[in-house]
Amino acid sequence: MQENESGKRSYIGKGAGGLLTGVANGLFGGGGGMVLVPILQRLSYPPKVAHATALFLILPLCVLSAAVYLFSVRVSLSLLLPVMLGNILGGLLGAKLLFILPEKWVRLVFSLLMFFVGVRLLF
């Protein structure tokens, strides 16, 4: 009985994490991974698994969010195209680095990024 309850709790926790990730991504136009990675790590997934899962799930979230923004906000192609190219190249580089870097460094870099972005947003 206890094993079943634990499985149900884990399923609900993952679903709630997915919901929070989707809300963050839709609300901020991205950033769902910054919500999902700590949630998955809290659910005892290793950092590299958490990051890889977040990367895989963010694509459909971003496509959905982008479609909503595209139909409700005027999008500048002169801004979109160079940023998109940089994102594609950066995404490829980041994914390759995820396999190379030790988990300790992945956690450190992610934590520092979250810290500095948070401080920058405050000021």
pLDDT bin (cut points 50, 70, 90) of residue 29 is low
Q: Considering the entire predicted model, what is its pTM? A: 0.63
Amino acid at 4: N
User: Any idea which residue has 């190249």 for tokens?
Assistant: 89
Find the domain containing 64 and state its range. 2-122
Number of structural domains the chain divides into: 1
SS3 114: helix
> Which range is least confidently modeled, 4-8, 28-32, 38-42, 69-73?
4-8
